[in-house]
Amino acid sequence: MSAQLRLAGRTALVTGGSRGIGFGIAEAFVKEGADVMLAATNLQKLREAQERLAKAGTRVEIAEVDVSDRASCNGLVKRAIEKLGKLEILVNSAAIYIPRPFLEYAADDFDRVLKTNLYGPFHLSQAVLPHMLGLGWGRIINIASTAGKWASKNQSAYNVAKHGLVGLTRCVALETAGTGVTVNAICPGIVQTDLVDRFLQEHAEISHTTPDAIRQALLQRQSIGRFLDPSECGHLAVYLASPESDGMTGQSLLLDGGMLFV
Ligand SMILES: NC(=O)c1ccc[n+]([C@@H]2O[C@H](COP(=O)([O-])OP(=O)(O)OC[C@H]3O[C@@H](n4cnc5c(N)ncnc54)[C@H](OP(=O)(O)O)[C@@H]3O)[C@@H](O)[C@H]2O)c1
Protein backbone atom coordinates (compact mmCIF):
# COMPACT_ATOMS: atom_id res chain seq x y z
CA MET A 1 0.00 0.00 0.00
CA SER A 2 1.41 3.41 -1.01
CA ALA A 3 2.74 5.57 1.83
CA GLN A 4 1.04 8.55 0.17
CA LEU A 5 -2.40 7.31 1.16
CA ARG A 6 -3.72 9.36 4.06
CA LEU A 7 -4.57 6.41 6.32
CA ALA A 8 -1.91 3.93 5.19
CA GLY A 9 -1.16 1.46 8.00
CA ARG A 10 -3.99 2.76 10.22
CA THR A 11 -6.60 0.48 11.78
CA ALA A 12 -10.26 1.32 12.29
CA LEU A 13 -13.41 -0.16 13.81
CA VAL A 14 -16.65 1.08 12.24
CA THR A 15 -19.94 0.19 13.94
CA GLY A 16 -22.89 0.22 11.57
CA GLY A 17 -20.27 -0.45 8.88
CA SER A 18 -22.47 -2.88 6.94
CA ARG A 19 -24.70 -0.20 5.42
CA GLY A 20 -25.35 3.49 4.87
CA ILE A 21 -23.07 6.10 6.39
CA GLY A 22 -20.92 3.55 8.25
CA PHE A 23 -20.27 1.71 5.01
CA GLY A 24 -19.50 5.02 3.21
CA ILE A 25 -16.94 5.84 5.90
CA ALA A 26 -15.37 2.37 5.83
CA GLU A 27 -15.14 2.59 2.03
CA ALA A 28 -13.37 5.96 2.26
CA PHE A 29 -10.99 4.52 4.89
CA VAL A 30 -9.96 1.47 2.81
CA LYS A 31 -9.44 3.68 -0.26
CA GLU A 32 -6.99 5.67 1.90
CA GLY A 33 -5.14 2.49 2.92
CA ALA A 34 -6.65 1.63 6.33
CA ASP A 35 -7.38 -1.87 7.62
CA VAL A 36 -10.93 -1.97 8.96
CA MET A 37 -13.33 -4.04 11.01
CA LEU A 38 -17.03 -3.59 10.21
CA ALA A 39 -19.49 -4.36 13.02
CA ALA A 40 -23.29 -4.68 13.05
CA THR A 41 -25.98 -7.17 14.07
CA ASN A 42 -26.75 -8.75 10.67
CA LEU A 43 -23.96 -11.14 9.63
CA GLN A 44 -25.21 -11.58 6.06
CA LYS A 45 -25.12 -7.80 5.42
CA LEU A 46 -21.65 -7.67 6.97
CA ARG A 47 -20.42 -10.38 4.60
CA GLU A 48 -21.81 -8.48 1.60
CA ALA A 49 -20.10 -5.27 2.75
CA GLN A 50 -16.82 -7.14 3.35
CA GLU A 51 -16.92 -8.52 -0.19
CA ARG A 52 -17.50 -5.04 -1.67
CA LEU A 53 -14.62 -3.50 0.29
CA ALA A 54 -12.15 -6.33 -0.23
CA LYS A 55 -11.35 -5.00 -3.73
CA ALA A 56 -9.40 -2.07 -2.24
CA GLY A 57 -6.74 -4.55 -1.11
CA THR A 58 -6.54 -3.68 2.59
CA ARG A 59 -7.63 -6.00 5.39
CA VAL A 60 -11.39 -6.04 5.99
CA GLU A 61 -12.66 -7.95 9.03
CA ILE A 62 -16.27 -8.29 10.18
CA ALA A 63 -17.82 -8.89 13.59
CA GLU A 64 -21.31 -9.22 14.99
CA VAL A 65 -22.15 -6.83 17.82
CA ASP A 66 -25.14 -5.39 19.58
CA VAL A 67 -23.88 -1.94 20.58
CA SER A 68 -26.67 -1.57 23.16
CA ASP A 69 -25.01 -4.36 25.17
CA ARG A 70 -21.90 -3.47 27.18
CA ALA A 71 -20.42 -6.99 27.20
CA SER A 72 -20.90 -7.24 23.44
CA CYS A 73 -19.07 -3.88 22.99
CA ASN A 74 -16.19 -4.98 25.23
CA GLY A 75 -15.87 -8.24 23.27
CA LEU A 76 -15.89 -6.33 19.99
CA VAL A 77 -13.02 -4.03 20.96
CA LYS A 78 -10.98 -7.01 22.20
CA ARG A 79 -11.60 -8.84 18.92
CA ALA A 80 -10.73 -5.78 16.81
CA ILE A 81 -7.39 -5.38 18.62
CA GLU A 82 -6.63 -9.10 18.19
CA LYS A 83 -7.55 -9.18 14.49
CA LEU A 84 -6.09 -5.81 13.44
CA GLY A 85 -3.09 -5.82 15.80
CA LYS A 86 -4.00 -2.40 17.27
CA LEU A 87 -7.01 -0.11 17.14
CA GLU A 88 -6.41 3.55 16.34
CA ILE A 89 -9.76 4.78 15.02
CA LEU A 90 -13.27 4.13 16.34
CA VAL A 91 -16.29 5.28 14.33
CA ASN A 92 -19.61 5.07 16.18
CA SER A 93 -22.16 5.02 13.37
CA ALA A 94 -24.60 2.27 14.47
CA ALA A 95 -27.98 3.65 15.46
CA ILE A 96 -31.70 2.99 15.27
CA TYR A 97 -34.58 5.33 14.51
CA ILE A 98 -38.05 5.03 16.07
CA PRO A 99 -40.31 8.01 15.32
CA ARG A 100 -43.40 8.59 17.52
CA PRO A 101 -45.31 11.64 18.74
CA PHE A 102 -43.99 12.43 22.22
CA LEU A 103 -47.20 11.48 24.05
CA GLU A 104 -47.23 8.08 22.32
CA TYR A 105 -43.58 7.31 23.02
CA ALA A 106 -43.40 4.06 25.04
CA ALA A 107 -40.70 4.05 27.70
CA ASP A 108 -39.32 0.76 26.31
CA ASP A 109 -38.81 2.32 22.86
CA PHE A 110 -37.25 5.44 24.39
CA ASP A 111 -34.89 3.15 26.28
CA ARG A 112 -33.95 1.13 23.17
CA VAL A 113 -33.03 4.28 21.25
CA LEU A 114 -30.90 5.65 24.08
CA LYS A 115 -29.23 2.29 24.73
CA THR A 116 -28.25 1.91 21.07
CA ASN A 117 -27.56 5.48 19.96
CA LEU A 118 -25.97 6.93 23.12
CA TYR A 119 -24.94 4.11 25.47
CA GLY A 120 -23.39 2.22 22.51
CA PRO A 121 -20.82 4.99 21.86
CA PHE A 122 -20.34 5.34 25.66
CA HIS A 123 -19.53 1.61 26.10
CA LEU A 124 -17.27 1.49 23.04
CA SER A 125 -15.39 4.69 23.94
CA GLN A 126 -14.71 3.37 27.44
CA ALA A 127 -13.58 0.02 26.04
CA VAL A 128 -11.16 1.48 23.48
CA LEU A 129 -9.71 4.52 25.27
CA PRO A 130 -7.19 2.74 27.53
CA HIS A 131 -5.74 1.09 24.40
CA MET A 132 -5.59 4.39 22.47
CA LEU A 133 -4.03 6.20 25.43
CA GLY A 134 -1.42 3.43 25.52
CA LEU A 135 -0.69 4.03 21.82
CA GLY A 136 -0.43 7.79 22.44
CA TRP A 137 -2.64 8.40 19.40
CA GLY A 138 -6.27 7.73 18.59
CA ARG A 139 -9.45 8.96 17.00
CA ILE A 140 -13.04 8.62 18.13
CA ILE A 141 -15.52 9.82 15.51
CA ASN A 142 -19.14 9.87 16.62
CA ILE A 143 -21.88 10.07 14.02
CA ALA A 144 -24.38 12.42 15.65
CA SER A 145 -26.90 14.40 13.56
CA THR A 146 -28.46 17.78 12.97
CA ALA A 147 -30.92 16.22 15.46
CA GLY A 148 -28.15 16.67 18.05
CA LYS A 149 -28.18 20.44 17.48
CA TRP A 150 -31.88 21.35 17.48
CA ALA A 151 -35.40 19.95 17.94
CA SER A 152 -37.42 17.90 15.46
CA LYS A 153 -41.03 16.77 15.67
CA ASN A 154 -41.97 13.16 16.47
CA GLN A 155 -38.48 11.85 17.25
CA SER A 156 -37.77 12.97 20.81
CA ALA A 157 -35.74 9.88 21.78
CA TYR A 158 -33.52 10.16 18.71
CA ASN A 159 -32.88 13.89 19.31
CA VAL A 160 -32.20 13.33 23.02
CA ALA A 161 -29.69 10.59 22.17
CA LYS A 162 -27.97 12.74 19.53
CA HIS A 163 -27.82 15.79 21.86
CA GLY A 164 -26.27 13.40 24.40
CA LEU A 165 -23.75 12.20 21.86
CA VAL A 166 -22.70 15.78 21.08
CA GLY A 167 -22.24 16.30 24.84
CA LEU A 168 -20.32 13.03 25.23
CA THR A 169 -18.05 14.10 22.37
CA ARG A 170 -17.22 17.37 24.14
CA CYS A 171 -16.67 15.78 27.56
CA VAL A 172 -14.49 12.87 26.41
CA ALA A 173 -12.52 15.27 24.21
CA LEU A 174 -11.82 17.50 27.21
CA GLU A 175 -10.67 14.59 29.40
CA THR A 176 -8.36 13.22 26.68
CA ALA A 177 -7.03 16.52 25.30
CA GLY A 178 -3.26 16.57 24.92
CA THR A 179 -2.90 12.77 24.93
CA GLY A 180 -2.82 12.33 21.14
CA VAL A 181 -6.43 11.13 21.17
CA THR A 182 -9.08 13.34 19.59
CA VAL A 183 -12.85 12.99 19.83
CA ASN A 184 -15.09 14.67 17.28
CA ALA A 185 -18.57 14.21 15.84
CA ILE A 186 -20.08 14.54 12.40
CA CYS A 187 -23.64 15.88 12.36
CA PRO A 188 -25.14 14.88 9.02
CA GLY A 189 -28.34 16.40 7.67
CA ILE A 190 -30.19 14.05 5.33
CA VAL A 191 -28.07 11.32 3.78
CA GLN A 192 -29.68 8.88 1.34
CA THR A 193 -29.63 5.55 3.24
CA ASP A 194 -32.09 2.84 4.39
CA LEU A 195 -32.70 4.95 7.50
CA VAL A 196 -34.00 7.83 5.38
CA ASP A 197 -36.32 5.51 3.42
CA ARG A 198 -37.79 4.34 6.73
CA PHE A 199 -37.90 7.98 7.95
CA LEU A 200 -39.99 9.05 4.93
CA GLN A 201 -42.35 6.09 5.26
CA GLU A 202 -42.92 6.44 9.00
CA HIS A 203 -43.27 10.25 9.04
CA ALA A 204 -45.75 9.97 6.18
CA GLU A 205 -47.84 7.60 8.32
CA ILE A 206 -47.68 9.90 11.36
CA SER A 207 -48.61 12.98 9.26
CA HIS A 208 -51.21 11.19 7.08
CA THR A 209 -49.41 12.03 3.86
CA THR A 210 -47.14 10.24 1.36
CA PRO A 211 -43.39 9.53 1.59
CA ASP A 212 -42.92 11.50 -1.63
CA ALA A 213 -44.66 14.58 -0.16
CA ILE A 214 -42.31 14.41 2.84
CA ARG A 215 -39.30 13.96 0.51
CA GLN A 216 -40.30 17.03 -1.55
CA ALA A 217 -40.78 19.14 1.60
CA LEU A 218 -37.35 18.11 2.87
CA LEU A 219 -35.72 18.82 -0.51
CA GLN A 220 -37.15 22.36 -0.33
CA ARG A 221 -35.01 22.86 2.78
CA GLN A 222 -31.78 21.63 1.16
CA SER A 223 -29.91 24.66 -0.23
CA ILE A 224 -27.87 22.33 -2.41
CA GLY A 225 -31.11 20.87 -3.83
CA ARG A 226 -30.37 17.23 -2.97
CA PHE A 227 -29.77 14.85 -0.11
CA LEU A 228 -26.19 13.94 0.76
CA ASP A 229 -24.41 10.73 -0.20
CA PRO A 230 -22.70 8.49 2.41
CA SER A 231 -19.39 8.99 0.57
CA GLU A 232 -19.51 12.69 1.56
CA CYS A 233 -19.49 11.66 5.25
CA GLY A 234 -16.56 9.40 4.32
CA HIS A 235 -14.47 12.35 3.08
CA LEU A 236 -14.98 14.28 6.32
CA ALA A 237 -14.28 11.17 8.41
CA VAL A 238 -10.97 10.64 6.58
CA TYR A 239 -9.96 14.17 7.57
CA LEU A 240 -10.96 13.57 11.21
CA ALA A 241 -9.12 10.22 11.20
CA SER A 242 -5.91 11.61 9.77
CA PRO A 243 -3.08 13.54 11.47
CA GLU A 244 -4.25 16.60 9.46
CA SER A 245 -6.88 17.10 12.19
CA ASP A 246 -4.50 16.74 15.17
CA GLY A 247 -5.50 20.22 16.37
CA MET A 248 -9.25 19.61 16.37
CA THR A 249 -11.08 17.95 19.27
CA GLY A 250 -14.51 18.19 20.89
CA GLN A 251 -16.15 19.48 17.71
CA SER A 252 -19.49 18.48 16.22
CA LEU A 253 -19.33 19.36 12.56
CA LEU A 254 -22.49 20.00 10.56
CA LEU A 255 -22.58 18.32 7.15
CA ASP A 256 -26.12 19.17 6.14
CA GLY A 257 -26.26 20.44 2.56
CA GLY A 258 -26.95 23.96 3.83
CA MET A 259 -30.20 23.00 5.57
CA LEU A 260 -32.66 25.90 5.62
CA PHE A 261 -35.19 26.71 8.32
CA VAL A 262 -38.24 27.85 6.38
N1 LIG B 1 -29.12 8.89 7.04
C2 LIG B 1 -29.26 10.09 7.56
O3 LIG B 1 -29.88 10.98 6.96
C4 LIG B 1 -28.64 10.42 8.88
C5 LIG B 1 -28.69 11.76 9.29
C6 LIG B 1 -28.09 12.12 10.48
C7 LIG B 1 -27.46 11.16 11.24
N8 LIG B 1 -27.45 9.87 10.83
C9 LIG B 1 -26.76 8.92 11.69
O10 LIG B 1 -25.79 8.25 10.92
C11 LIG B 1 -25.58 6.93 11.45
C12 LIG B 1 -25.80 5.91 10.35
O13 LIG B 1 -27.11 6.05 9.84
P14 LIG B 1 -27.54 5.37 8.47
O15 LIG B 1 -28.43 6.32 7.79
O16 LIG B 1 -26.36 4.82 7.80
O17 LIG B 1 -28.46 4.17 9.05
P18 LIG B 1 -28.79 2.73 8.45
O19 LIG B 1 -28.66 2.74 6.98
O20 LIG B 1 -30.08 2.34 9.07
O21 LIG B 1 -27.60 1.83 9.05
C22 LIG B 1 -27.56 1.63 10.44
C23 LIG B 1 -26.40 0.71 10.75
O24 LIG B 1 -26.36 0.49 12.18
C25 LIG B 1 -26.36 -0.92 12.44
N26 LIG B 1 -27.02 -1.16 13.71
C27 LIG B 1 -28.27 -0.81 14.10
N28 LIG B 1 -28.51 -1.22 15.37
C29 LIG B 1 -27.38 -1.82 15.80
C30 LIG B 1 -26.99 -2.42 17.02
N31 LIG B 1 -27.81 -2.50 18.07
N32 LIG B 1 -25.74 -2.93 17.11
C33 LIG B 1 -24.89 -2.87 16.07
N34 LIG B 1 -25.19 -2.32 14.88
C35 LIG B 1 -26.43 -1.79 14.75
C36 LIG B 1 -27.09 -1.51 11.22
O37 LIG B 1 -26.75 -2.84 10.98
P38 LIG B 1 -27.71 -4.06 11.37
O39 LIG B 1 -29.05 -3.76 10.84
O40 LIG B 1 -27.08 -5.28 10.82
O41 LIG B 1 -27.65 -4.08 12.85
C42 LIG B 1 -26.52 -0.65 10.10
O43 LIG B 1 -25.24 -1.11 9.73
C44 LIG B 1 -26.56 6.80 12.60
O45 LIG B 1 -25.90 7.13 13.79
C46 LIG B 1 -27.63 7.84 12.29
O47 LIG B 1 -28.30 8.26 13.43
C48 LIG B 1 -28.03 9.48 9.68
User: At 261, is the pLDDT very low, low, confident or very high (cuts 50, 70, 90)?
Assistant: confident
Average pLDDT over residues 121-129: 99
Any atom of ligand 1 within 6 Å of the Cβ of 66: yes
- The answer to whether the CB of 196 is under 6 A from ligand 1 is yes
186 lines ligand 1 (CB under 6 A): no
- Taking all residues of the chain, what is their mean pLDDT, rounded to a whole number? 96
Q: How many Cβ atoms are within 10 Å of 180's Cβ, its own excluded?
A: 15
Among 38, 132, 56, 48, smallest CA distance to 94 is for 38
Say whether pLDDT at 262 is over 70: no
Question: What's the pLDDT score for residue 90?
Answer: 99
Residues 80-94 have a mean pLDDT of 98
Tell me the pLDDT tens digit for each residue of 202-235: 999 999 999 999 999 999 999 999 999 999 999 9
Measured CA distances, 201 to 103, 147, 165, 198 (Å) = 20, 18, 26, 5
Integer CA distances (angstroms), 179 to 12, 121, 173, 220, 246, in order: 19, 20, 10, 44, 11
Whether the pLDDT of residue 104 is over 60: the answer is yes
Of 97, 105, 119, 158, which residue is the catalytic one?
A: 158
Give pLDDT tens digits for 107-117.
999 999 999 99
Ligand 1 centroid–CA 94 distance in Å is 4
Q: Average pLDDT for residues 4-15, to the nearest whole number?
A: 97
Q: What is the pLDDT, as a whole number, of residue 259? A: 94
- pLDDT confidence of 3, banded at 50, 70, 90? low
Superfamily of domain 11-190+229-255: NAD(P)-binding Rossmann-like Domain (3.40.50.720)
Instruction: Read off the pLDDT of residues 159-175 as tens digits, 9 standing for 90 and up.
Output: 999 999 999 999 999 99
**Bridge partners, residue 59, by sequence:** none
What's the average model confidence in pLDDT over 236-255?
Answer: 98
Give the residue extent of every domain in the chain: 11-190+229-255
Residue 161: other Cβ atoms inside 10 A: 27
Query: What is the number of the ligand 1 atom nearest to the C-alpha of 147?
Result: 6
